[in-house]
Amino acid sequence: MTPAPADADLRVAICDTGKREYPSRAPFDPPPGAPELAALAPRSDPANAIHAGVRETLRLLGLDAGRFGTASWNPLSGVVRPGDNVVIKPNMVRHFHGSGGPLDALVTHGSVVRAVLDYALLALEGRGKVTIGDAPLQYADFHATAASAGIAEVVRDAKNRTSIPVDLVDFRKERSEKRGGIIVTRIPNDGDPAGYREVDLGQASAFYGANGDRARRFRVTQYDPAAMSSAHTAARHAYLLPRTILECDVLINVPKLKTHRKAGVTGAMKNLVGINGSKDWLPHHTAGASAAGGDEYRSRSARKALIGAIRDHLEGRRSALGRRLLHLSERAIRATGKIVPFPDPFWEGSWHGNDTIWRMVHDLHRVLLHADAEGVVHEEPVRRCFAVVDAVVAGEGEGPMRPAPRAVGLLLGGRNPAAIDATACRIMGFDPARIPLLRHAVGDGFAPGLPGLEAIEIVSNRAEWERPFDLQRDRSLCFVPPAGWAGAIEAE
């Protein structure tokens, strides 16, 4: 292993759990051999290698190293303090896989959430509160996802074994119903019981400097562009944060490792999309061709421009009949591609030329780290963050909604999301310098401050993962990239 850097926040652990599948018995009790959890988790499950893997990840990071193996070991005590308000943020994107099959490659598994929750509860020492929450897609069934992943049972069990409040919250301000490929109705959601607050980054935004024309063309598919235009102008770049997020002392990020059609990869950084209460405030691409200042697709196309205009009208309409007619018009224009091919295969910003989504993700990090409970943005961080990445079953190909499962049995952990994702990217067989989300996270522009990839210290229980940045692609996991990124991000 390389010597520890001066800043241990740049240490990343890669733990091989020895298992390529998740335990099936919720609430995923820890195996024997964790004396620190004896009082907190009275039951045990000898077959639960994932809980043991999270424990090993924390040990590899050197957390509370002097007490490891004793009943007083408290690995998250440097992150979570007694009395803290803690948010645990899994990836609960939606309740079904786009290609059918189980959710293992799509959402964070409850066994990983359970282990993280146990160590957070341990660090709270009987005082504080924990919220497990996410803002999935507008048409996702939040409770079905929580049940399928085992997260709902983890929360129910926690309520019975600790006096600390543990709540499961859907952070969406609005949800919807989708039929026949279109949103047919929007419904106010219970949302965050603490309410919401706008946070305007202004000049601190990664979008600052974009002219008014570009800001007017920010889009996210199947959301109302009028709301986007209100949140983002030439001078204003605002996000709608659940107050539970803004009022927390600590956020523990528990993402699923997947490829991503718009961002290239999704892990500790991209998972923060779920801390925003309304996705129509989140620019995912800029309408139009690259040559016209957009990044929705590469080459100019009158038909694609017309489809974009139709979608704008469709998303702004509340009439189910009007939406259906516009949807049919869009499908008819798309069908002409079978006769006269479109000039390129890219749609909706789902390609390596997307210059929008990384800026939005960077903005969310700045909000999370620097915006206080009143939404005031400070120079110095105002809350603590930590991440454990679920890559036991990861996703490749057309993620994040249709990823093919890759059972690799890994967990990653650390404090710096850019360092974690750059490391994960490299073991996937991708080059972080070729992915804008990561390339722009190296240097002074990114809030957590990753000075350079060489500053990352890798620790692992498998020698093959101790120097991932030295691996050639054929020695990596060789993940399949999304079609729009193929040939553009693979490592040499």
Per-residue pLDDT tens for 55-114?
Answer: 999 999 999 999 999 999 999 999 999 999 999 999 999 999 999 989 999 999 999 999
According to the model, what pLDDT value does residue 315 have? 80
Is 120:88 a contact under the CB 8 Å cutoff? yes
According to the model, what pLDDT value does residue 2 have? 40
According to the model, what pLDDT value does residue 447 have? 80
Q: Is the pLDDT of residue 17 over 80?
A: yes
According to the model, what pLDDT value does residue 186 have? 85
According to the model, what pLDDT value does residue 179 have? 79
Lowest-confidence region among 111-125, 277-291, 316-330: 316-330
Task: Please state, in angstroms and rounded to a whole number, the distance separating the CA atoms of residues 22 and 102.
Answer: 12
Q: Which two tokens stand for residue 61?
A: 């990071």
According to the model, what pLDDT value does residue 307 have? 96
Q: Which two tokens stand for residue 406?
A: 């890759």
Count of C-beta atoms within a 10 Å radius of residue 292? 13
Q: Name beta bridge partners: 12.
A: 414, 458
Q: Is the pLDDT of residue 1 over 50?
A: no
Query: Average pLDDT of the chain?
Result: 95
List strand residue ranges (DSSP E) for 60-195, in order.
85-90, 129-134, 166-170, 174-179, 182-188
According to the model, what pLDDT value does residue 423 have? 98
**SS3 state at 389:** strand
Q: Is the pLDDT of residue 474 over 90?
A: yes
Q: Which of 456, 379, 436, 471 is nearest to 8 (CA)?
A: 456
Q: Which two tokens stand for residue 374?
A: 């009143």
* Residue 479 φ/ψ, nearest 5 degrees: -65, 145
Q: Is the pLDDT of residue 180 over 80?
A: no
**The total number of residues written for the chain in this structure:** 492
Q: Which two tokens stand for residue 56?
A: 């090993």
According to the model, what pLDDT value does residue 317 have? 67
According to the model, what pLDDT value does residue 318 have? 65
Per-residue pLDDT tens for 184-209?
Answer: 788 999 999 999 999 999 999 999 98
* Residue 115 φ/ψ, nearest 5 degrees: -65, -45
Question: In terms of C-beta density within 10 A (0-12 exposed, 13-18 middle, 19 or more buried), how is residue 291 classed?
Answer: exposed
Lowest-confidence region among 185-189, 271-275, 484-488: 185-189
The domain limits of the chain are: 8-176+187-195+244-277+383-485
According to the model, what pLDDT value does residue 3 have? 40
Per-residue pLDDT tens for 312-337?
Answer: 988 876 677 888 899 899 999 999 99
| Cβ-proximal residues to 268 (8 Å cutoff; 6+ apart), any chain | 253, 255, 387, 389, 417, 420, 421, 424
According to the model, what pLDDT value does residue 132 have? 99
